[in-house]
């Protein structure tokens, strides 16, 4: 439920309404705009139906949030969410951010070389998996904690922000120490325990769409995180399973404008996993920006032939330079920009 207050509503009115909602076991989110205050009440619809909110002092109107996702919906918050990092980097504003790096952290030299190359091309965020969700238990599973130390080192040496995947809630304190953004992978999109735990973290979360998740399920997963208090969520379209076999997944670019209309959260496009083919990454990165994406995630490897994972979809650094140049033109065409 959204309770819109009159411009003249007082602090006392706000306290009175919030108190009544909380007494009834509802969660309260207050957003104070320049003109008026809006109170979001989240919880059991039956309890809400029993409260005569419209006649409370200071209340102008009461609206039901029709979507099953509440906190993440545009109905709840009209303005785009912009995630701001202490070094000034933003995700969700006019600047399009690019996260780039290897699928997996393989060594400190590999990571540092790629980090420097993607930085000089204009990326501000370094990606790299330390805990890898692999289909086969016999393939490389990631360097684990050692990989996190390499990420920290690269962050310190380059000033790039760092993102890496969390697979197990027990590793959350470690990730909080070594990374700036926590990634929840496609295979864990509905791991509700993991979602609730990152919902209690103060770090921004990149939530990847599940391999066969509908947009509604995707947003309900985001709602799990938001409902625990963390609303710094970036949604990632990374391709879904279809009957098509020419590509690893089908990058669902419809999802970008659909998400932008349903939610205030920033949307990121991952054409690397979305296609599974390095030769399709540049065109689909361009398309992702044209469709309204706020950010990109791109896998880059110095030697894709020898990569421990996802070599077939990784760009060599020279091609990443090309991607950035081409994407800058598309960004300008849609009134956005990618910094040099």
Judge whether 267 and 292 are in contact, CB under 8 Å.
yes
We find the least distance from the C-beta atom of residue 129 to Mn ion, in angstroms, to be: 7
128 binds ligand PEP (CB under 6 A): no
DSSP β-bridge partners for residue 5: 59
Per CB under 5 A, 284 contacts Mn ion = no
Under the criterion CB under 6 A, does residue 129 sit at the interface with ligand PEP? yes
**Which helix (H) or strand (E) is 319 found in, with range?**
helix 317-333
Hey, how many other C-beta atoms are within 10 angstroms of the C-beta on 273? 23
Instruction: Output DSSP code: residue 313.
Output: G
For residue 103, state whether it binds Mn ion (rule: CB under 5 A).
Answer: yes
Out of 310, 320, 324, 331, the only residue in the binding site for Mn ion (CB under 5 A) is 310
Question: For residues 2 and 103, which CB has a smaller minimum distance to ligand PEP in the complex?
Answer: 103
Comparison of 6 and 187: residue with beta carbon closer to Mn ion = 187
Looking at the Cβ atoms of 9 and 221, the one nearer to ligand PEP is 221
Of 25-33, 167-175, 180-188, 261-269, which segment contacts ligand PEP by CB under 6 A? 180-188
Q: Map tokens 């016999």 to a residue.
A: 138
Q: Which residue do the tokens 């910094």 mark? A: 339
Q: How far apart are the first and last CA of the chain?
A: 43
Q: CB-side exposure of 147: number of CA atoms within 13 Å?
A: 24
- Report in angstroms the alpha-carbon separations of 181 from 37, 91, 143, 198, 265: 30, 11, 18, 11, 15
Give the helix/strand (H/E) hosting 127: strand 125-127
The CA-based angle 194-200-202, given to 5 degrees, is 115
Contact between 301 and ligand PEP (CB under 6 A)?
no
Q: Footprint of ligand PEP on residues 225-254 (CB under 6 A)?
A: 238
By CB under 6 A, is residue 133 in contact with ligand PEP?
A: yes
Q: State the minimum distance, in angstroms, from the CB of residue 186 to ligand PEP.
A: 4
Per rule CB under 6 A, is residue 99 in the interface with ligand PEP? no
Minimum CB separation of residue 209 from ligand PEP in Å reads: 8
Taking the least distance from each CB to ligand PEP, the nearer of 183 and 230 is: 183
Return d(Cα 77, Cα 107) in angstroms, integer: 43
226 interacts with Mn ion by CB under 5 A: no
Q: How far is the CB of 303 from ligand PEP (least distance, A)?
A: 17
Q: Contacts with ligand PEP in 261-280 (CB under 6 A)?
A: 273
DSSP helix/strand/coil, 276? coil
Of the ranges 8-16, 17-25, 142-150, 184-192, which one interacts with ligand PEP (CB under 6 A)? 184-192
Q: Which residue is nearest to ligand PEP (CB)?
A: 185
CA distances from 246 to 27, 239, 241 (A): 47, 13, 12
3 or 182: CB nearest ligand PEP: 182
3-state secondary structure of 246: coil
| Position 163 contacts Mn ion (CB under 5 A) | no
DSSP secondary structure letters along 159-183: --EEEEE---GGGHHHHHHH-SEEE
Query: Of 92, 101, 147, 185, which one interacts with ligand PEP (CB under 6 A)?
Result: 185
Which positions touch ligand PEP (CB under 6 A)? 103, 129, 133, 185-187, 208, 238, 273
């Amino acid at each position: 439920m959204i309770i819109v207050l009159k411009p003249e509503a007082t602090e006392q009115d706000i306290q009175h309404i919030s108190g009544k909602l909380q007494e009834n076991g509802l969660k309260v989110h207050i957003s104070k705009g320049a003109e008026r205050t809006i109170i979001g009440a989240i919880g059991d619809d039956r309890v809400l139906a029993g409260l005569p909110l419209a006649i409370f002092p200071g209340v102008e109107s009461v609206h039901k949030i029709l979507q099953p996702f509440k906190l993440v919906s545009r109905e709840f918050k009209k303005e785009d969410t912009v995630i701001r990092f202490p070094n000034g980097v933003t995700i969700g504003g006019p600047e399009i951010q690019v996260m780039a790096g290897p699928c997996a952290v393989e060594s400190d030299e590999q990571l540092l070389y790629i980090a420097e190359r993607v930085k000089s091309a204009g990326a501000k965020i370094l990606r790299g998996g330390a805990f890898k969700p692999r289909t086969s238990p016999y393939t490389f599973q990631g360097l684990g904690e050692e990989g996190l130390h390499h990420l920290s080192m690269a962050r310190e040496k380059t000033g790039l922000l760092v993102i890496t995947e969390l697979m197990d809630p027990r590793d959350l304190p470690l990730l909080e120490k070594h990374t700036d953004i926590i990634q929840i992978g496609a295979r864990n999109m509905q791991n509700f325990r993991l979602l609730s735990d990152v919902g209690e973290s103060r770090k921004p979360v990149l939530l990847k769409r599940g391999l066969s998740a509908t947009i509604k399920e995707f947003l309900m997963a985001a709602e799990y995180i938001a409902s625990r208090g963390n609303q710094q969520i970036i949604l990632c379209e990374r391709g879904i399973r279809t009957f098509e076999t020419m590509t690893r997944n089908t990058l669902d670019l419809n999802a970008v404008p659909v998400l932008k209309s349903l939610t205030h959260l920033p949307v990121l496009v991952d054409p690397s996993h979305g296609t599974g083919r390095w030769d399709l990454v540049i065109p689909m990165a361009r398309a992702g920006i044209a469709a309204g994406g706020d950010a990109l995630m791109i896998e880059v490897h110095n030697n894709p032939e020898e990569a421990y994972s996802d070599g077939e979809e990784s760009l060599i650094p020279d091609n990443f330079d090309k991607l950035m140049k081409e994407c800058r033109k598309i960004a300008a065409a849609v009134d956005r920009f990618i910094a040099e």
